[in-house]
Amino acid sequence: MRYNDAYSPTFCLFEVRKYLLYILSLLLLCLFFTSPLLAQSHLQFTSQFSDPIPLHEATDSAYIYLYLEAKAGAKSDIHPAVPLNISLVLDRSGSMSGAKMDYAKEAAKFVIENLNNNDLISIITYDQDVQVVSYSGSAKPKRKLKKLVDMIGVKGATNLSGGMLEGFNQVASTYDANYINHILLMSDGYANKGITDPLRLQDTVQYLNRNQNITLSTFGLGADFDEDLMETLSDYGGGNYHFIHKATKVPGVFLQELSDLQSVIARRMLLKVQFPSDRMELSKVFGYPYLQDSTNMDALLIPFNDVTAHETQAVLVRFLVWKQEVHKESDEGQVAATFTYEDTALTNEVQTNRVTIKKDSTILSNIVLFEANQTTREAISQTEKGLLSRGIELVRENETYMDQQFKSFQPDSLLQAQYQHNSQYIKDVKQHADQSTYKRKMIQKFAKYHSYRLRKKK
């Protein structure tokens, strides 16, 4: 019997081999797309180290700078949406009456509507007292939750600390390490009930963030809230600070924050920097709060917390090098930096990335950005205290400093924005010096918020 060629044993063996190779190729592709190597490609880590920069001509002491950056790319299919466990904490004090509360309710309902069924939510309001409108639970009953929001009224004073702490309590009550555990805190006024001391509030938020792995973002509305406190709480709470200049913007800002939470690529990112404290003294950390153990002065920890798609998180560390150490070689060889984090593409796996510390002249751009930003912020602070002449002096000194630095390199768009921000601030102050208190407050808030966003590279 003669076999048809198409069904010969040789041909069949060839077909089997072909299909086996095809299946093997698919398996290799699957392994590649779920490997740590590919997952890490969505995060880029940058390190820059400077040569010693003399403090001034009359001394041999110098500053040495270390710049470290984590930059996220686009979120892809290998990064699934991480479920949310969030608490909405809304100011319902008397100053929120009218349009402010109307738009705050609208924002809350927009957030509820855009949560997934496996997300968790609690809703809290505060005046002089604190009320749990809805305890932490499933976001499924959207209609019921929105009806509860509609029933919120306004009255009384501003117990911001009470509302915030209840937010932490609610998120902690349903805490899940596989969720993003986060608080959204909004206020339009100064904390005048409960804990009102800014340093105590800062320490409380830092402790809760570090020990409960719960992050906090703040939203300041209008002209009469404490922007310094709200920015500090977000910094030490590991979240974002938002200045909302008018009530109609509230829903959009809340939805942007929610969108960011739904596009997290890396979680609980922690940067550890080790350096020889016998040779290098820590002078300042720009960009983020840091932790340093008094028993180990050779290391500092900088919590980056969650990193979202297309986000850049960056820090500049300034060291003082003593006179006898300035001319020693290989300072960069004495410093180590390690990022640890959880990649959302790799469930329950902690990733470690130790960056190579090496000298890089392009660090000068980041040095100028952070130093100039700090000086502008100081000018704003002096002007706020009524010391306009000192504010003007700082702005002019800052402008001269940047002009001098720009002779050696071309400023990028962020530096150009910082330069413009610095010069425009005093112009705005002078132009509106005789206008209403409201207008002057808004100038200060816009100026500080612009400084904040430049510092955060947003």
pLDDT of residue 322: 78
DSSP letter (8 states) at residue 310? T
> CATH 3.40.50.410: does it fit domain 84-262?
yes
Burial of 304 (0-12, 13-18, 19+ CB in 10 A): buried
pLDDT of residue 37: 42
DSSP letter (8 states) at residue 311? -
Q: What is the pTM of this model?
A: 0.87
Cα dihedral 375, 283, 369, 249, rounded to 10, equals -70
Q: d(Cα 315, Cα 289) in Å, to the nearest integer?
A: 9
> Which tokens go with 414?
């962020």
Distances (CA, A) of 187 to 37, 93, 107, 123: 43, 9, 13, 14
Residue pair 269/333 in contact (Cβ under 8 Å)? The answer is no
3-state secondary structure string, 390-449?
HHHHHHHHHHHHHHHHCCCCCCCHHHHHHHHHHHHHHHHHHHCCCCCHHHHHHHHHHHHH
Q: d(Cα 444, Cα 384) in Å, to the nearest integer?
A: 7
- Contacts with 288 (C-beta within 8 Å, 6 or more apart), sequence order: 235, 302, 303, 304, 313, 315
Find, among 186, 188, 187, 250, the residue nearest to 223 by Cα.
188
Residues comprising the chain, all counted: 458
Cα 379-384-388 angle, rounded to 5 deg: 60
H helical segments located in 34-98: 36-40
> Which stretch of DSSP H or E encloses residue 146?
helix 142-150
Q: d(Cα 54, Cα 65) in Å, to the nearest integer?
A: 12
Q: Is 159 left (phi over 0), alpha (psi -120 to 50) or beta?
A: beta
pLDDT of residue 296: 82
Q: d(Cα 280, Cα 61) in Å, to the nearest integer?
A: 11
Burial of 205 (0-12, 13-18, 19+ CB in 10 A): buried
Q: What are phi and psi of 245, to 5 degrees?
A: -80, -20
* 39-77+272-359, CATH topology level: Immunoglobulin-like (2.60.40)
Residue pair 312/71 in contact (Cβ under 8 Å)? The answer is yes
Q: Domains of the chain: which residue ranges?
A: 39-77+272-359, 84-262, 364-455
pLDDT of residue 373: 98
Q: What is the DSSP string of 265-283?
A: EEEEEEEEEE--TTTEEEE
pLDDT of residue 64: 94
Task: Give 10-residue mean pLDDT values along the chain (458 residues).
Answer: 44 51 51 43 88 80 94 84 95 91 93 95 96 97 96 91 97 96 94 92 95 96 93 96 94 93 93 92 94 85 94 96 64 86 82 92 96 97 94 96 96 97 93 84 95 96
pLDDT of residue 240: 96
